[in-house]
Amino acid sequence: MPSVSTPDALDPSAVRGDFPILDQQVHGHPLAYLDNAATSQTPTPVLEAIQSYYRNDNANVHRGIHELSRRSTDAYEGARMKVARWIGAEDAGEVVWTRGTTEAINLVASAWGAANLEEGDEILLTDMEHHSNLVPWQLVAARTGARLRYLELDDEGRLRLEDLPGILAGGRVRIGAVGHVSNALGTINPVREIARQLHAAGALLLVDGAQGAPHAPVDVAELGADFYAFSGHKMCGPTGIGVLWGRRELLEAMPPYQGGGEMISEVQRDYSTWAELPHKFEAGTPNIAGAVAMGAAVDYLDGVGPERILVHEQGLVRQALEGLQAMPGVRVFGPRDPEGRAGVVPFTMEGTHPHDIATILDSQGVAIRAGHHCAQLVMKRYGVSATARASFYLYNTADDVDRLLDGLESVREIFG
């Protein structure tokens, strides 16, 4: 467990010791890694969990009677329980391992959508969704004849919640799919209120938690979510593993997503019956090491304290916003109040393409992302083709933010 300076504050310099990758020079400068919304770094206990799994326990799960298979199954199912606790789910059978957020959303759009949507039904999306929470719904809409409705954004990057009652009044919305936190704006969405209104209208809510679960305490029941999707690699775990949480009765009623081994109860020539939850949705040999490592990542984050992570990030956001707002020609996207946003700071600089900003920062060892961030509807809404984006996590320091701001000063000098 990383040490912290006071019971309440997270000390990022103590945490950094757990992340060996951060201790390196890039282009002759110490690395300032500010691309955490894309993927986070991996602490030593998680690296060790992966190695230990392959060194000591590797075997396929739920199959053999032998000792290694028993151990790998215990580790795999134990990790599921840890992840369930991380999001406040009491029933680990409601936690389905997936490849990540994208696959979790595709699972719901495909399996739930095919069984529940028909022509004239509506799916509520928002203009701030990541493409992972748009395209799967477009595909199921094309297959079923359902229609997509959109909640629009205000000038500060918040959802226009005042439009929701009007959309729901039509009585055709069956499901809403809304991000917990926007990767392109940093906005923390009022998920609880959206859930309340959707449920009152007889609709369900899927929450895209890719940028939520890694950064703040999550309680799926308290949020009022019916489905919650997130990825291991954005929360100190490895790539290729993620989670779909869903309410048991909904998952029970859904048809399988993929067919294959592990997900059946009995196979006949013409039909099969399905395994119990959550295995019904886990066809084929799963990413066992990934799941075990995601469990280790949850243990690690739990040790730091999820409520500290968001507070720490918001402090860095405040520092970044103050610096950016003082720079002429800089436009910051998303809510002005740091309390309304998680650790994502997108911006543009007049006369400079975001890719040039990112390239110059990279030459100074500062890693940010530039582009549309898989949120082209956000870019369209604010009339830009791309933004530069700094995104923070528990190991980022005030010095990292200073390096960003100093780097941007040099960008301004180069581009005049």
- Please give the residue ranges that form the binding site for ligand 7TS (CB under 6 A): 37-38, 100-102, 130, 132-133, 179, 183, 208, 210-211, 231, 369, 373-374
| CB of 40 or CB of 73, closer to ligand 7TS | 40
Catalytic residue among 374, 382, 402, 415: 374
Token look-up 């582009």 returns 371
| Residue 7, token pair as written in the block | 């019971």
Q: Work out whether strand 227-231 and strand 242-246 pair parallel, antiparallel, or are unpaired.
A: antiparallel
Name, in order, each residue with C-beta under 8 angstroms of 333's C-beta and a sequence gap of 6 or more.
Answer: 157, 184, 185, 186, 346, 347, 348, 378, 382, 387
Residue type at position 159: L
d(CA 248, CA 236): 27
Token look-up 């009585």 returns 171
Q: How far is CA 211 from the centre of its chain?
A: 4
| CB of 38 or CB of 47, closer to ligand 7TS | 38
> Across the strands, what pairs with 188?
181
Cβ atoms of 278 and 27 within 8 Å: the answer is: no
CB of 369 to ligand 7TS, least distance (A): 6
For 170, the 3-state DSSP assignment is: coil
Q: Which of 275, 226, 224 is nearest to 249 (CA)?
A: 226
Q: Which of 38, 42, 26 is nearest to 370 (CA)?
A: 38
| CB of 43 or CB of 237, closer to ligand 7TS | 237
CB of 276 to ligand 7TS, least distance (A): 26
| CB of 191 or CB of 275, closer to ligand 7TS | 191
Residue type at position 347: F
CB of 328 to ligand 7TS, least distance (A): 28
Does 236 participate in catalysis according to the annotation? no
CB of 101 to ligand 7TS, least distance (A): 4
| CB of 4 or CB of 128, closer to ligand 7TS | 128
DSSP H or E run through 14: helix 12-16
CB of 252 to ligand 7TS, least distance (A): 25
Token look-up 């405040």 returns 318
CB of 29 to ligand 7TS, least distance (A): 23
| CB of 35 or CB of 121, closer to ligand 7TS | 35
DSSP H or E run through 178: strand 173-179
DSSP E strands, 196-294: 204-208, 227-231, 242-246, 264-267, 272-274
d(CA 300, CA 48): 12
CB of 341 to ligand 7TS, least distance (A): 13
d(CA 64, CA 79): 19
CB of 25 to ligand 7TS, least distance (A): 24
| CB of 194 or CB of 275, closer to ligand 7TS | 194
Helix axes of 354-363 and 398-415: crossing angle, nearest 10 degrees: 120
| CB of 382 or CB of 415, closer to ligand 7TS | 382
Scanning 153-281, the segments in alpha helix (DSSP H) are: 164-169, 191-200, 220-223, 248-253
**Which residues are catalytically annotated?**
374
